[in-house]
């Protein structure tokens, strides 16, 4: 052993201890992000999965070295499906835990409940669920579908390739179905469908006795015109609805049902054999044939240690949102909310259907619309895929919102710019 070698060894040791020290510092100095999904109460059924996805994404990102050289740390809280508690927890995450961004919410009510909090405390929320549109906040990035990214392409598909002329718009009585159905009705009538050929019907949350409703659909469908059901029925009520459909013998060939809230996770609770051929419109299905999707599913199965866990559309939206945030933070070089909001517009990240999703100036993203048919194994077979569609926050089919646009880039930086009056602030008066 020569002196040289000894010196080399000492230097190596010094470098190693230096990096170790740095590592120790990094572990202390983490970036916190909030995860605001209900883990108990009625919405736990849908939201718990998204919490798991977020934990997985954080773990994966940390394996790659974190963000800005710091590790990420997820702060999970349980707002317990209670909307005022969502506001309280959001405030806690931002004020007490000082999180850099929050990923969360499922229902529109919860989003509406936390929106003032995010605007007041100037933080950032990534909202991963399809919703009714009619909103654009500077502090929210909407990675789920707006009505034009889900409902309208689905109706187009039924009209063009199944020749549907008569429509049942069946929904749970809350804001998302009400708005979506208003938009769809206006859209269908603009396509020449008569009012008598549209039936709109609402049922309460958690509705479980579908006998009368299904037989109503059956008799509406026997007027000699091809009929379809557009379902905006919410989570829990779907299982009894589909069971009743199956038992009353309504086959997809006779009256197809296209759903906007039924994905792989919801189907996991049903025997899908009688439902083969009924449709769903989403921006992602687990059956998408793309390498990035296969990789995602593999990671998911490994993370949950359960190779039967399905993936679904809100999970993809969470994935896109998280990656967009990471990219925007890296571009801005900081997690400061204002800088991230400036840098996130235009950020383009891979989505799971093999393309790229871009955050638009209206804080919605571009994504393709997929129409899938339910298969006997609980998966969807994709029968149509559109090119990228830009999320339209202000529907063109509602009289009060058709003149509005949103653009959060400077200098406009406005969520409800009226193109007619040329002013920011809605209808203006």
Partner 1 sequence: MKMSAILLKGRRMYLRPVRILAILLGLILGFATAASSAADDPAALIKALGTANFEQAEAIIADLGKTGDTRIVPALEAFAAGDLYVRKSDSQVFIAKAAGSGFTLIDPVTGASAGEAPKSAITKIKINNSLRRAISSAQGGLTLLSPDKVVRLQAADSVLKSPSAENLELLEAALAKETDRAVKLRMEQARAVSLLSSDRPVDQKRAAIATLQSLGGRDAIGILMTAAPTLDPALKGDLDAAIKKIEGTLALWDAAQNIWYGLSLGSVLLLAAIGLSITFGVMGIINMAHGEMVMLGAYSTFVVQEIIRTKFPGAFDYSLAIALPVAFVVTGAAGLIIERGVIRFLYGRPLETLLATWGVSLVLQQLVRSIFGPTNREVGNPSWMSGSFPLGGMQVTWNRMWIVLFSLTIFLGLLLLMKRSFFGLMMRAVTQNRRMASSMGIRTPWVDAFTFALGSGIAGIAGVALSQIDNVSPNLGQSYIIDSFMVVVFGGVGNLWGTLVGALTLGVLNKFLEPWVGAVLGKILVLVLIILFIQKRPRGLFALKGRAIEA
Partner 2 sequence: MITSFFLRALEGRIVAMVAVLLGFAVLVPMSNLLLGPDNPLHVPTYVMSLLGKYLCYALLALALDLVWGYCGILSLGHGAFFSLGGYAMGMYLMRQIGSRGVYGDPILPDFMVFLNWKQLPWFWYGFDMFWFAALMVLVVPGLLAFVFGWFAFRSRVNGVYLSIITQAMTYALLLAFFRNDMGFGGNNGLTDYKDILGFSVQSDGTRSVLFALSAIMLALCLILASAIVRSKFGKVLLGVRDAESRVRFLGFRVENIKLFTFVVSAMMAGIAGALFVPQVGIINPGEFAPANSIEVVIWTAVGGRSTLIGPIIGAVLVNGGKTIFTGVFPEFWLFALGGLFVLVTLFLPKGIVGTVAQALAKRRAAQAAETPTHLNGKPQAAE
Q: What is the DSSP string of 160-185?
A: HHS---EEEEEEESSHHHHHHHHHHH
22 interacts with partner 1 by CB under 8 A? no
Q: Which residue number, 38 or 351, has a Cβ lying nearer to partner 2?
A: 38
Considering CB distances under 5 to 8 angstroms, the limit depending on partner class, which of partner 2, partner 1, none binds residue 401?
Answer: partner 2
Q: Which residue number, 53 or 117, has a Cβ lying nearer to partner 2?
A: 117
178 interacts with partner 2 by CB under 8 A? yes
173 interacts with partner 2 by CB under 8 A? yes
Q: Return d(Cα 240, Cα 249) in angstroms, integer.
A: 14
| Residue 110 CB burial class (10 angstroms; 0-12, 13-18, ≥19) | buried
170 interacts with partner 2 by CB under 8 A? no
Which strands, in side-by-side order, build the sheet including 198-203?
Answer: 198-203, 166-172, 227-232, 257-259, 279-282, 366-374, 380-390
CA of 109: how far to CAs of 43, 95, 105, 312, 338, in Å? 12, 22, 9, 22, 26
Q: Which residue number, 82 or 238, has a Cβ lying nearer to partner 2?
A: 82
Contacting range for partner 2; rule: CB under 8 A; set: 81-89, 259-267, 306-314, 333-341:
81-89
Q: Return d(Cα 321, Cα 124) in angstroms, integer.
A: 11
Q: Return d(Cα 396, Cα 390) in angstroms, integer.
A: 13
Closest approach, Cβ 42 to partner 2, in A, equals 10
CA angle 203, 208, 214 (to 5 degrees): 65
The token pair that represents 48 in the structure block: 């718990």
The one among 46, 107, 286, 353 contacting partner 2 by CB under 8 A: 107
The one among 47, 67, 72, 89 contacting partner 2 by CB under 8 A: 89
The one among 247, 294, 307, 423 contacting partner 1 by CB under 8 A: 247
Contacting range for partner 1; rule: CB under 8 A; set: 125-133, 204-212, 325-333, 354-362:
204-212
Closest approach, Cβ 346 to partner 1, in A, equals 34
- Tokens 């009894």: give the residue: 240
Closest approach, Cβ 414 to partner 2, in A, equals 11
75 interacts with partner 1 by CB under 8 A? no
Q: Return d(Cα 417, Cα 406) in angstroms, integer.
A: 6
What are the helix (H) ranges across 162-268? 175-190, 211-220, 235-247, 264-267
- Tokens 């793309």: give the residue: 290
361 interacts with partner 2 by CB under 8 A? no
Contacts with partner 1, residue ranges (CB under 8 A) = 39-42, 44-45, 48-49, 160-163, 173, 201-204, 206-209, 211-213, 215-216, 218-219, 221-225, 236, 239-240, 243-244, 246-249, 252-254, 256, 265-266, 268-271, 274, 276-277, 373, 375-376, 381, 383
Contacts with partner 2, residue ranges (CB under 8 A) = 39-40, 76-80, 82-85, 87-89, 91-92, 95-96, 107-109, 112-113, 115-117, 120, 134-136, 173-175, 178-179, 182, 204-205, 398-401, 404, 415-416, 418, 425-429
């Amino acid at each position: 052993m020569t002196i040289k070698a000894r010196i080399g060894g000492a230097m190596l040791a010094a470098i190693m201890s230096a990096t170790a020290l740095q590592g120790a510092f990094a572990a202390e100095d983490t970036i916190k992000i909030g995860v605001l999904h209900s883990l108990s109460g009625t919405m736990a059924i849908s939201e718990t999965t998204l919490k798991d996805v977020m934990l997985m994404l954080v773990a994966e990102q940390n394996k790659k070295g974190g963000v800005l050289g710091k590790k990420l740390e997820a702060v999970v809280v349980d707002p317990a499906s209670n909307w005022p508690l969502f506001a309280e927890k959001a405030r806690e995450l931002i004020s007490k835990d000082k999180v850099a961004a929050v990923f969360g919410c499922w229902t529109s009510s919860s989003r509406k409940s936390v929106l003032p909090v995010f605007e007041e405390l100037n933080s950032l929320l990534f909202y991963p669920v399809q919703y009714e549109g009619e909103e654009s906040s500077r502090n929210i990035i909407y990675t789920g579908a707006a009505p034009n990214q889900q409902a309208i392409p689905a109706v187009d598909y039924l009209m063009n390739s199944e020749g549907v002329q008569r429509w049942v718009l069946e929904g749970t009585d809350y804001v998302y179905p009400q708005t979506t159905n208003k938009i769809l009705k206006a859209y269908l009538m603009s396509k020449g469908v008569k009012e008598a050929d549209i039936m709109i019907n609402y049922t309460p949350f958690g509705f479980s006795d579908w006998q009368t409703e299904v037989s109503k659909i059956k008799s509406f469908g026997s007027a000699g015109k091809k009929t379809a059901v557009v379902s905006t029925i919410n989570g829990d009520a779907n299982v009894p609805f589909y069971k009743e459909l199956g038992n009353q013998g309504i086959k997809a060939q006779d009256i197809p049902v296209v759903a906007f809230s039924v994905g792989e996770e919801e189907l996991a609770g049903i025997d899908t054999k009688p439902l083969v051929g009924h449709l769903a419109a989403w921006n992602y299905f687990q059956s998408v044939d793309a390498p990035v999707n296969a990789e995602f599913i593999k990671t998911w199965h490994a993370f949950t240690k359960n190779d039967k866990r399905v993936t679904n559309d809100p999970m993809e939206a969470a994935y896109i949102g998280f990656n967009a945030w990471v990219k925007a933070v890296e571009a801005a070089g900081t997690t400061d909310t204002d800088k991230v909001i400036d840098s996130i517009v235009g950020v383009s990240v891979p989505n799971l259907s093999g393309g790229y999703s871009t955050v638009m100036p209206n804080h919605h993203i571009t994504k393709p619309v997929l129409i899938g048919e339910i298969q006997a194994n609980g998966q969807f077979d994709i029968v149509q895929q559109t090119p990228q569609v830009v999320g339209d926050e202000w529907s063109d089919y509602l009289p009060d919102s058709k003149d509005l646009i949103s653009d959060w880039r400077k200098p406009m930086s406005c969520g409800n710019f009226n193109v007619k009056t040329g002013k920011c602030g809605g209808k203006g008066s």
